């Protein structure tokens, strides 16, 4: 399948070739040939649409200094830092790249019980991504960008929807006492969240990584941190998000991938996943956003987790993201936001899935490991060492955490606290089952 479209940018020399490709795509659609791309089904595309998609792809894929082929099929382009997609944003035309934040959050409390309860039950931190197996790394001064393909767009509902999260039930007012608003859009959650109207300047957690199975192409399962500000019921919600996700629609496979997201208008016109639109500025040359995470945890076997910290630079107002112990990934420039230019009012941690109710039943799309919270370490997925960043730029365990799961027969959550894991929780579930029909 080396000739399959999407592997490379294609330059059409003649209409005939284009016609052939369209026919081929049509052929794939009719016979539902998957050619190893499990989730990829193709619809008929007109010449015009195909050209529009190709034009968009050419715009978001930037010229690469070096190209690395990942064993999972991804192509990673090492793009000059100053040529990355962010700088297509009209508000960032004159933005000066920050190579480092002015300040990193400080630990408020020193852990005294480093080596006690639960230490041997800690997941190993993941230091690398699938594409690193190639052996070649991106040179200094460049950032690795996962190349987008025509396939990626063809799997999405439309070119407009490509890379965007569909508006979720915005009023997931995160109150179990508001069931009428929490169950919108087929999005289901099992989350922990901070109380409202606090001033929050960032959040951190270490997230167990699994590869939950997804039943339908347009469903996803993710485990992430949300840093939120603005009106949940309005059209001005600001959200910064990061974690891992399995999204066959977005990536064409079922691997868990590191992702970021942002919006400043309640998931409407602004924002996107990863670097699929102008916004996030990456500075790291080794971590590709949207790339597959490896290895992943196995049931009753080795556990792996990733640590993500998001915080606001106290001086410049940019929202930084670091990965692992202390690796800076990049930042969301202050220019992108309205409410978040000040501070966040809520943080959420946890899982979200889409249940399309295909065939009238709850789908068997899994959250976390696919096991319920009560199964605990090695079986259920976890978030550990939840922390928030205060106004003095220091990290501490969040006070009065609340939890919410809309449908505990399908996905649930249990939180607790101990010295080693601090504030933590187990969450997830299998989706459809006798008790989740």
Ligand X SMILES: *[C@@H]1O[C@H](CO)[C@@H](O)[C@H](O)[C@H]1NC(C)=O
Which residue out of 215, 219, 241, 249 is catalytically annotated? 241
Minimum CB distance to ligand X, residue 130 (Å): 11
Catalytic (active site) residue 199: no
Contact 60, 277 (CB under 8 A): yes
Of 134 and 357, CB closest to ligand X: 134
Catalytic (active site) residue 198: no
Alpha-carbon distances, residue 75 vs 137, 163, 288, 323 (angstroms): 12, 17, 11, 22
Q: Is 2 in the site for ligand X (CB under 6 A)?
A: no
**CA separation for the pair 249, 154 (Å, rounded):** 9
Binding residue for ligand X, selected from 9, 38, 69, 418, defined by CB under 6 A: 69
Q: Is 136 in the site for ligand X (CB under 6 A)?
A: yes
**CA separation for the pair 361, 70 (Å, rounded):** 37
Q: Is 58 in the site for ligand X (CB under 6 A)?
A: no
Q: The tokens 């410049």 sit on which residue?
A: 316
Binding residue for ligand X, selected from 100, 134, 357, 433, defined by CB under 6 A: 134
Contact 138, 68 (CB under 8 A): yes
Contact 268, 56 (CB under 8 A): no
- For the chain, state the CA radius of gyration: 21
Contact 363, 216 (CB under 8 A): yes
Q: Is 68 in the site for ligand X (CB under 6 A)?
A: yes
Q: Is 268 in the site for ligand X (CB under 6 A)?
A: no
x/- track of binding to ligand X for residues 214-253 (CB under 6 A): ----------------------------------------
Task: Select from 33-41, 133-141, 370-378, 397-405 the region that touches ligand X (CB under 6 A).
Answer: 133-141
Contact 364, 430 (CB under 8 A): yes
Of 207 and 291, CB closest to ligand X: 291
**CA separation for the pair 279, 90 (Å, rounded):** 10
Minimum CB distance to ligand X, residue 401 (Å): 44
Binding residue for ligand X, selected from 90, 135, 301, 434, defined by CB under 6 A: 135
Alpha-carbon distances, residue 140 vs 5, 214, 254, 305 (angstroms): 31, 37, 31, 27
Task: Select from 61-69, 172-180, 239-247, 395-403 the region that touches ligand X (CB under 6 A).
Answer: 61-69
Task: Select from 99-107, 132-140, 169-177, 336-344 the region that touches ligand X (CB under 6 A).
Answer: 132-140
Task: Select from 134-142, 160-168, 286-294, 373-381 the region that touches ligand X (CB under 6 A).
Answer: 134-142
**CA separation for the pair 171, 262 (Å, rounded):** 17
**Helix (H) or strand (E) segment spanning residue 24:** helix 15-31
Q: Is 145 in the site for ligand X (CB under 6 A)?
A: no
Of 286 and 394, CB closest to ligand X: 286
Which residue out of 215, 219, 249, 352 is catalytically annotated? 352
Minimum CB distance to ligand X, residue 91 (Å): 34
Contact 208, 368 (CB under 8 A): yes
Residues at the site binding ligand X, with contacts judged by CB under 6 A: 67-69, 71, 134-136
């Amino acid at each position: 399948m080396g000739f399959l479209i999407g592997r490379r940018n294609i330059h059409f020399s003649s209409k005939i070739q284009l016609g052939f490709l369209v026919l081929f795509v049509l052929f794939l659609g009719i016979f539902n040939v998957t050619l190893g791309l499990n989730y990829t089904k193709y619809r008929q595309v007109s010449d015009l649409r195909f050209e529009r998609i190709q034009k968009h792809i050419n715009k978001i894929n930037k010229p690469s200094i070096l190209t690395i082929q990942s064993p999972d099929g991804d192509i990673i382009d090492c793009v000059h830092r100053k040529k990355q997609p962010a700088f297509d944003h009209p508000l960032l035309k004159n933005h000066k790249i920050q190579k480092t934040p002015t300040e990193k959050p400080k630990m408020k409390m020193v852990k005294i019980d480093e080596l006690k309860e639960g230490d041997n039950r800690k997941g190993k931190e993941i230091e690398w991504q699938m594409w690193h197996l190639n052996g070649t790394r991106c040179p200094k001064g460049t950032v690795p960008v996962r190349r987008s393909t025509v396939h990626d767009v063809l799997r999405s509902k439309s070119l407009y929807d490509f890379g965007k999260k569909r508006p979720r039930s915005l009023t997931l007012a995160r109150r179990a006492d508001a069931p009428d608003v929490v169950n919108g859009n087929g999005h289901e959650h099992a989350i922990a969240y901070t109380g409202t109207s606090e001033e929050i300047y960032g959040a951190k957690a270490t997230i167990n990584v699994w590869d939950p199975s997804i039943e339908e192409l347009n469903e996803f399962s993710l485990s992430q941190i949300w840093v939120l500000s603005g009106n949940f019921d309005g059209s001005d919600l600001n959200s910064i998000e990061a974690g891992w996700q399995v999204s066959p629609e977005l990536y064409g496979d079922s691997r868990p991938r590191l992702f970021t997201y942002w919006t400043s208008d309640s998931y409407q016109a602004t924002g996107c996943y990863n670097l699929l639109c102008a916004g996030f500025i990456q500075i790291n040359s080794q971590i590709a956003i949207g790339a597959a995470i490896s290895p992943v945890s196995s049931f009753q076997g080795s556990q792996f987790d990733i640590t993500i910290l998001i915080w606001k630079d106290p001086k410049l107002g940019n929202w930084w993201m670091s990965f692992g112990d202390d690796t800076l990934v990049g930042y969301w420039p202050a220019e992108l936001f309205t409410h978040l230019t000040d501070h966040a009012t809520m943080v959420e941690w946890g899982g979200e899935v889409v249940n399309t109710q295909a065939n009238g039943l709850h789908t068997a799309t899994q959250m976390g490991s696919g096991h319920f919270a009560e199964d605990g370490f090695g079986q259920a997925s976890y978030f550990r060492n939840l922390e928030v960043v205060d106004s003095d730029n220091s990290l501490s365990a969040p006070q009065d955490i609340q939890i919410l799961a809309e449908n505990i027969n399908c996905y649930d959550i249990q939180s607790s606290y101990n010295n080693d894991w601090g504030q933590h929780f187990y969450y997830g579930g299998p989706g459809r089952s006798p008790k989740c029909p």
